[in-house]
Structure 1
Amino acid sequence: MAPRITIEGGHPAGQPHVREVGDPTGGQTLAPHRLAGCAHADPLTPADRYQELFVAVQMGRIFPDSKTFTDAMPRQDPATILAAYRARAGAAGFDLAAFVHAHFALPEVPRSCYESDPNQPLADHIDGLWAVLTRHPAQHPPQCSLLPLPHPYVVPGGRFSELYYWDSYFTMLGLAASGQGGLLRGMAENFSYLLDTYGVIPNGTRSYYLSRSQPPVFALMVELFEDQGVQPELGFLPQLRKEYAFWMRGADCLAPGQACRRVVRLADGSLLNRYWDERDTPREEAFIEDTGTAALAARPAAEVFRDLRAAAESGWDFSSRWQEPGGGLETVRTTAILPVDLNCLLFKLEHKLAELAQAAGDADAPVFAQRAQARREAIDRLMWREAEGAYFDFDWQRHHARANLTAATVVPLYVGAATPAQAARVAQTVAARLLQPGGIATTERVSGQQWDLPNGWAPLQWLAIGGFACCGQAALAHEIAHRWLVTVASLYQREYKLVEKYALQPGEDGAVGGGGGEYPLQDGFGWTNGVVRRLLQDHPAHVACRCRAGVKSVHP
């Protein structure tokens, strides 16, 4: 067994703690810091705070989008509102919708504030969007689910009006390309603040997101910050330790074949990670959707809710990747799966911890390096399939690799966990099976879920481009970048905007936005802006650099 490392961190504040085998922390929580001059979030989630009122609003479909009520702002003390509901709800003729509108201010989702000047090139359009998508601490309303932050930050757009974890890495690529150094520094401070305050970077900055995180890209952020000259006085090592503590909590108590939260110890003693959520109830922002999904399942609802929440932590919400082969969303088994991309990101985190600890003269440096090497060997042993030339997720409950190829196969290349020979094989496989006219596909299956065919997503394009470029597969990296830029530019020319996801097969009039999932296609859009802005910088001669809204000049 590897030597033990002293790690720091706390549990998400205000959340229950589930013990799958044993909890060595004793269920302690870390209270959030206070922010001077800034409104404070309600310490309880909306479901906890409003109880039967919350359920009545969501199940009564008072709003088409379940996220609307979770983000609503109370017009008076929340306890007073709940007491008023309890006093009036049983009265004849009680109007729930009228009660909610009288007691809450609803979040406003801008319908269209992203239209471009027809004479504006794509890069200038994106540069102008940063101000539209930036939020300021002084704008944080009191007593609602929004978590306050000390510095301005960039949101994705549309219904997503808070800071999101893994989105922000890809967004910040564009901030750097746009010369937004001040905003980039503020984002760095915000993520450090979240780790110092809650012991976790939550899925997003809402109280109902504190029970889960997202793909751990903070180590990648740190390298971006270093590259851009953003360096706090004490460095990022303390925050990286907290990130690692969150993902590895419970590892020391595991026997072979056991799991605790996000950690699984396999029969051979290897430690690998999965996605998880501290709660096993419907997601508050998708309450009625999750309730309906669980009703279709042939297993306890709590298990379904946990797996749905864990899939939300993955960022791939939702995808056939997490389901039984050929099954619907009710067959989701996220917690049974050890994802290749998650474990590669944790390999990167361990590698970065070793690097920074060594520079600081920290005695833990060789232990982190040993853990990174052990994880890489386990990824090769369990997730690499030479016959197919790709990496696959591993089903730890059924003791075999999954059969579904996904774009996650490029992440080992991006973080330096693949050999040149493996990278060459992955390049062949991706070119043959995932490459589409508009970029690389998320999976090979059409399921109706948004993280499946026919959709393409900016973060996956970037990971593929960067992974192939750094592993000697420059031609494929260039081809993916070209196809993605043409896709985004084509829709921009016709509709004057960028969107959350794109269909990888063009329509009769060119590129179209993606579909599927639980909500309509969102305009904005943070990580699309970030990846495209960086690609425009990296490919200054590309035709997309010259495209303008309303002027058809880019062709597939």
Structure 2
Amino acid sequence: MAVQRTINAETLVDPFSDALADVCPADTLSPAERYQELFVAVQTQRVFADSKTFVDCAPRQYPEHILQAYRAEHHGPDFDLAAFVDAHFSVFSFAERDFDADRSASLCAHIDRLWPVLTRHPCEHPQRSSLLPLPFDYVVPGGRFTELYYWDSYFTMLGLDASGQCELMRHMADNFAYLIDTYGHVPNGSRTYYLSRSQPPVFALMTDLFEECGVRRASDYLPQLRKEHAFWMDGADHLPAGETHRRCVRLPCGSVLNRYWDDRDTPRDEAYLEDVETAHACARPPHHVYRDLRAGCESGWDFSSRWLDDPQQLSSIRTTRILPVDLNSFLYKLERQIARLSAIRDDPQSAEAFDALADARRVAIDRYLWSAEAGTYLDYDWQRASPRTALTAAMLTPLFVGLASPTQADGVATAVSEHLLMPGGLATTTVDVSAQQWDKPNGWAPLQWIAIRGLQHYGHAQLAEEIEQRWLSIVAERFEQGSKLVEKYVLQAGAEPADGGEYPLQDGFGWTNGVTRQLLREDPKHQANRCRAGTCSVHEQRVDVQPSGT
């Protein structure tokens, strides 16, 4: 755990400073809304290989003028759509920042050097693009992800803390407060086409980190925490038993639990053609498929057999019919945090009310998301009134936020040891027949962190250390082979780079850097601290990632 720092009130900047007043209002229309039939033509005719490229492009003129020109020209016999797009848009990119891996530098030093490369400045934002304005500097994941992402950023900030990047953390904190104040929630990412959904609500976790690192008082953000809670609970107060509204489901017993959702039921702007093709692959109404795909993106697990009826068919996705273990655990943490900070701010009535909400959620989680038969937490299909049977790494989130009982934590630890532990760390699910990236054999940095911390909270230090040792070893092995950190990893020694999902493996990479940097600081004796970039071939594993037993 990060060391508690003393906050010096004299050095704190007002989180609601005049800098916020200088932010230009966003054009909140998505590219699909803004460019209409031009958008459809570009995406369906594959002007760009990656559907995300066009929606991130910067227009060279006012969008209204571009659409008008398209309507006037596109029926002409010599009209060339690709040439039209090239003339009226520039592919979005930030200025190149020279960076070469230093073979003499440690993995920690490599990550420390990456923060400036991944940092973006609002003054660089192109005009009239889909990029949402922000008041302060921020860190992006890397690769095709050139904007701020919500839950990624919490894990990235762990590394900023370990690297001593306090000012950048402060800027990130205030950016999230700005987003909540401006839009009522934190969008999936800082693009107009992400405004209809959020991501796992980890702002409460961020506020703890800000306070631990001496960046801000957590109570500075109490108003934003309450606004975020209102967003997730919209419609819950007057919802009849058995009914749903947006992200809320009132169960037959009267309890309310939450699901992932998206306020739109159209193809995603950033994956338009892919979504249309997915919807055509099944008999379900297309708008149902689109909503479930979008809700899968809100989960952060986009995509996983966790949301599918058939692990081999993305079109079988049913995200909105599922009550997820991790989402409800994060909301439990949010309610406890609001209660704690309300007490600090001398508001006992609010503290009591939110403690009661957290208590009620914990009872509902125990009733619907804990499986005595499986001995662990499982997602729940509220439509079919039955638990999902697949085991996933989400089972560790209740331990991470402290809502599990010791007996429940013991059951989760057993399930992890028997089913999810791999040579390179914690597997995402037990399903290995899926083509989705959030499935076995891939491992992801945020899930390793949640598992390690959750197990430590409940006294399972040996298993937590086993996951940490294996994860650091697999990251170090890949670093020695390829001189970089990546988005996800195949958790086997000597394996090919991870694949699956809708896009190629991305370099960067924000949350891998963050989690790895923090773990290396906490375990300075791990051999990963001694590895160097590009010092072995694919066939020369200098870091042992074989299981050492549990």
Query: How many angstroms does 1:555 deviate by?
Result: 2.2
Matching residue within 48, 53, 78 for 1:93: 78
Q: Secondary structure at the match of 2:39?
A: helix
Q: Contact 1:405–1:444 at 8 Å: present in 2 too?
A: yes
Query: How many angstroms does 1:359 deviate by?
Result: 1.4
Q: How many residues align?
A: 521
The 5 A counterparts of 1:175-214 are 175-214=160-199
Query: How many angstroms does 1:550 deviate by?
Result: 2.4
Question: CA RMSD for the aligned pairs?
Answer: 1.6
Per-residue deviation, residues 481-506 of structure 1 (Å, max 9, x unmatched) = 00000000000011100000000112
1:504 and 2:477 matched: no
Return the alpha-carbon distance in structure 2 between the equivalents of residues 493 and 329 of structure 1. Answer: 35
Gaps (5+ residues) in structure 1? 1-32
Which residue identity does 1:205 align to in structure 2? S
Q: Which residue of 1 aligns with 2:14?
A: none
1:368 and 2:354 matched: yes
1:528 and 2:496 matched: no
Gaps (5+ residues) in structure 2? 1-17, 537-541, 546-550
Matching residue within 471, 490, 494 for 1:484: 471
1:54 and 2:43 matched: no
Q: Which residue of 2 aligns with 1:30?
A: none
Q: Contact 1:114–1:524 at 8 Å: present in 2 too?
A: no
Which residue identity does 1:473 align to in structure 2? H
Return the alpha-carbon distance in structure 2 between the equivalents of residues 132 and 352 of structure 1. Answer: 33
Q: Which residue of 1 aligns with 2:497?
A: 513
Q: Contact 2:106–2:529 at 8 Å: present in 1 too?
A: yes
Q: Contact 2:207–2:217 at 8 Å: present in 1 too?
A: no
Return the alpha-carbon distance in structure 2 between the equivalents of residues 461 and 537 of structure 1. Answer: 16
1:350 and 2:328 matched: no
With normalisation by structure 2, the TM-score equals 0.92
Q: Contact 1:114–1:523 at 8 Å: present in 2 too?
A: no
Q: Secondary structure at the match of 1:253?
A: coil
Q: Which residue of 2 aligns with 1:377?
A: 363
The 5 A counterparts of 1:108-507 are 108=93, 115-231=100-216, 235-362=220-347, 363-446=349-432, 447-507=434-494
Per-residue deviation, residues 256-281 of structure 1 (Å, max 9, x unmatched) = 00000000000000010000000000
Which is further off, 289-298 or 227-236?
227-236
Return the alpha-carbon distance in structure 2 between the equivalents of residues 112 and 385 of structure 1. Answer: 50
Matching residue within 42, 54, 60 for 1:69: 54
Q: Secondary structure at the match of 1:188?
A: helix
Return the alpha-carbon distance in structure 2 between the equivalents of residues 392 and 164 of structure 1. Answer: 27
The 5 A counterparts of 1:4-83 are 41-83=26-68
Return the alpha-carbon distance in structure 2 between the equivalents of residues 37 and 217 of structure 1. Answer: 27
Return the alpha-carbon distance in structure 2 between the equivalents of residues 478 and 233 of structure 1. Answer: 29
What is the aligned-residue identity percentage?
60
Q: Which residue of 2 aligns with 1:546?
A: 530
Return the alpha-carbon distance in structure 1 between the equivalents of residues 290 and 98 of structure 2. Answer: 35
With normalisation by structure 1, the TM-score equals 0.91
Q: Contact 2:119–2:140 at 8 Å: present in 1 too?
A: yes
Q: 1:123 to 1:455 in 2, by over 3 A?
A: same
Which residue identity does 2:451 align to in structure 1? A
Which residue identity does 2:284 align to in structure 1? R
Q: 1:554 to 1:381 in 2, by over 3 A?
A: same
Q: Contact 1:494–1:550 at 8 Å: present in 2 too?
A: yes
Q: Secondary structure at the match of 1:486?
A: helix
Return the alpha-carbon distance in structure 1 between the equivalents of residues 283 and 253 of structure 2. Answer: 32
Q: Contact 1:437–1:483 at 8 Å: present in 2 too?
A: yes
Q: Contact 2:184–2:228 at 8 Å: present in 1 too?
A: yes
Which is further off, 227-236 or 144-153?
227-236
Query: How many angstroms does 1:42 deviate by?
Result: 2.7
Q: 1:34 to 1:254 in 2, by over 3 A?
A: farther
Query: How many angstroms does 1:233 deviate by?
Result: 9.9
Which residue identity does 1:418 align to in structure 2? A
Q: Contact 2:312–2:435 at 8 Å: present in 1 too?
A: no
Per-residue deviation, residues 160-217 of structure 1 (Å, max 9, x unmatched) = 0000000000000000000000000000000001011111100000000000000000
Return the alpha-carbon distance in structure 1 between the equivalents of residues 506 and 305 of structure 2. Answer: 22
Per-residue deviation, residues 282-329 of structure 1 (Å, max 9, x unmatched) = 000011111110001211000000000000000000000001044510
Q: Secondary structure at the match of 2:220?
A: coil
Query: How many angstroms does 1:387 deviate by?
Result: 2.6
Q: Secondary structure at the match of 1:80?
A: helix
Return the alpha-carbon distance in structure 2 between the equivalents of residues 380 and 234 of structure 1. Answer: 29
Which residue identity does 2:394 align to in structure 1? A
Per-residue deviation, residues 87-124 of structure 1 (Å, max 9, x unmatched) = 00111120000000000011238999664111010000
Which residue identity does 2:384 align to in structure 1? R
Q: Contact 1:41–1:144 at 8 Å: present in 2 too?
A: no
Return the alpha-carbon distance in structure 2 between the equivalents of residues 404 and 231 of structure 1. Answer: 40
Query: How many angstroms does 1:421 deviate by?
Result: 1.4
Which residue identity does 1:127 align to in structure 2? D
Query: How many angstroms does 1:512 deviate by?
Result: 4.2
Which residue identity does 2:404 align to in structure 1? A
